Amino acid sequence: MRQENIRNIAIIAHVDHGKTTMVDQMLKATDAFRENQQVQERVLDSNDQERERGITILAKNISIEYHDVKINVIDTPGHADFGGEVERVLRMADGALLLVDAAEGPMPQTRFVLRHAIDAGLAIMIVVNKIDRDGARPEEVVNGSLDLMMDLGATDEQLEFSMEHVIFASAVNGFARLAPDDGNDDMYPLLDMIVDGLPAPEADPDGPLAMQCVTVDHSSYVGRIGIGRIYSGTIHDADKILVVKNDGSRAMSQVKQLFTFDYLGRKECSEVKAGDIAALVGVDSTDIGDVYTDPDNPVELEPIEIDPPTLSVIFEPSTSPLVGREGDIVGARQLKERLTTERENNVTMRIEELPDKTGIEVAGRGILHLSVLMEAMRREGFEFQVGRPRVLFKKDENGTLTEPVEQSVVECAGEYSGKVIEVFGNAGGTMTSMETGTAQTHLEFKIPTRGIMGLKNRILNVTHGDAIFYHTFLEYGPYVGELGVRQNGAMISMSTEKAVAYALGTLQERGALFVGPGDECYEGMLVGERSKPGDMVVNIARTKSLGNQRSSTADIAVQLTPPRSFTLEEALEYIMEDELVEVTPRSVRLRKRLLTETERRKWSVRNGKVNK
């Protein structure tokens, strides 16, 4: 039985192809806002980091109403590090809008999200976005999208549906068209095609209850909130339900509150019928994959497996000489409590305290995934330090050591392609595809996740900034052995003082600086990178010796190159095993794990290493 008054759709695309902006226009077209209401762009990107980075981090549910049909819309992340969100939320949908940039065409993450949509059996509508931008080639992009669907094993029915359901749009200008130049200037053709073309959910409201939790929200008032689709039956407020975990364990629970999605918010209700998406309060410690079903007539659903993390970092309380100057929260106990809370709220991360209690290991899907947490904590006033990200190896059924492997894509001018291939070769990558166009060369590689760290900067250097670089998790593959690490040594401060321009003027001849005049530095802090291998201890507070004779022209102003600054992701990729990133609300500093030169020499002797 199909619920004709409901449509459940997901919006999927490569990062920055316009998903959230498209949702904005759908909301405006269905009168979600008052006529005089001031609405910010990308209204669903409510998180500060989402707005600043210009990416969607968390999947979000909204609903709109059009021609008496409720359309549940799921806005999904586009970045590979948050791909686990996409896989799960597609279970709530019957169809998907595949947004593709009219100039760029299908990109690596397009392949990733499309594969999951095809595997889920969704009806896929192709939306060619940004048809007004320079270099747009909408017809070619449609053909490229269909070719990609064929490559990914789409069924004949899916291909036929996608060929018949194509929309050309410009989300930023608020129009959707059946043909690129038909002159329509509103979003109604897209909404009409969703209602008339995409399938209604097939469900039996009178059958036994079956609902599966695919997303977990958290409230400080009511605890965890399970969000999912009701596949059959009807759920009522105060119902007694059976909760079946992924491991097969069962427990009784009671519904305390029940919500459906209503435009940008949630509406509390007394019942929700099959086919709709609901948010449920009352199941203690609910997890992704939990099935809420009828105790007398339980229904079994396929369990949901959360993607295993591929990278981990160790969070430790800061031991910097400058600790407490910029942040309010510096203690080990507060750090542990904050990360314990994160473990409750964020089921996509694995957070465990180390056996020796010296730190907490946080494992996630990639460096961006981990740095989003660090950025949130520093904005809350935390000071802490983290080590170099470690790739999580595992053994297959034969006992062979395997490691995560990424698919990487680089688009650059043909003259730089040789250098890019060389960079990937040195990082353990293997080229799998090369397409030469008139302006750009398209290169694809398989490369261990370990090799990805620090790769972006090297690619931008060899292409003079003229490259587009993307990567996404592909599979676990055989361990490829030791990979090259940073070749250049570091300049390490020998004292805890403010940097002086005169000293920096002489040091910048030896390499690149990370600090400027007046910056607070401490012993063991990395203040620059040498142009040669081997670390070098430097005096950043040295001043010019004054003689007896002075004249107005005796001193010439020091010309300093602006210091290199690091984002959190860049700092995590840059450091070595014996280095740490110190994170404070105002600064990201690099330092040695052992601050004094004496300690570092002793460590080198104990471990049989030569301290250069």
Helix ranges, 332-366 (H): 332-345
Chain centroid to CA 177: how far?
31
CA-CA distance, 171 to 44, in Å (whole number)? 14
CB-based contacts of 275, cutoff 8 Å, min separation 6? 3, 6, 8, 200, 201, 202, 203, 205, 229, 230
Q: Are strands 311-317 and 360-364 parallel, antiparallel or unpaired?
A: antiparallel
Residue 20 assigned ligand-binding role: yes
Q: Are strands 95-101 and 311-317 parallel, antiparallel or unpaired?
A: unpaired
Angle at 323 between CA 321 and CA 326, to 5 degrees: 130
Question: Is residue 333 left, alpha or beta, with left meaning phi > 0 and alpha meaning psi from -120 to 50?
Answer: alpha
- What Å distances lie between residue 220 and 223, 267, 341, 344, 487, CA to CA? 6, 19, 10, 11, 47
CB-based contacts of 348, cutoff 8 Å, min separation 6? 82, 84, 85, 306, 307, 364, 365, 369
Residue 227 assigned ligand-binding role: no
CA-CA distance, 122 to 157, in Å (whole number)? 10
Q: Quote the longest CA-to-CA distance of the chain.
A: 99
Angle between helices 417-426 and 455-462 (to 10 degrees): 150
Residue 116 assigned ligand-binding role: no
Q: What is the 3-state secondary structure (H, E, C) of 55-71?
A: CCCCCEEEEEEECCEEE
Helix, strand, coil shares, percent, the chain, to 5: 25, 30, 45
Residue 130 assigned ligand-binding role: yes
Residue 18 assigned ligand-binding role: yes
Map residue 409 onto helix, strand or coil.
Answer: strand
Q: Using the 8-state DSSP alphabet, how is residue 208 labeled?
A: -
Residue 336 assigned ligand-binding role: no
Q: Which residues are annotated as a binding site for GTP?
A: 16-21, 129-132
Q: Which residues are annotated as a binding site?
A: 16-21, 129-132
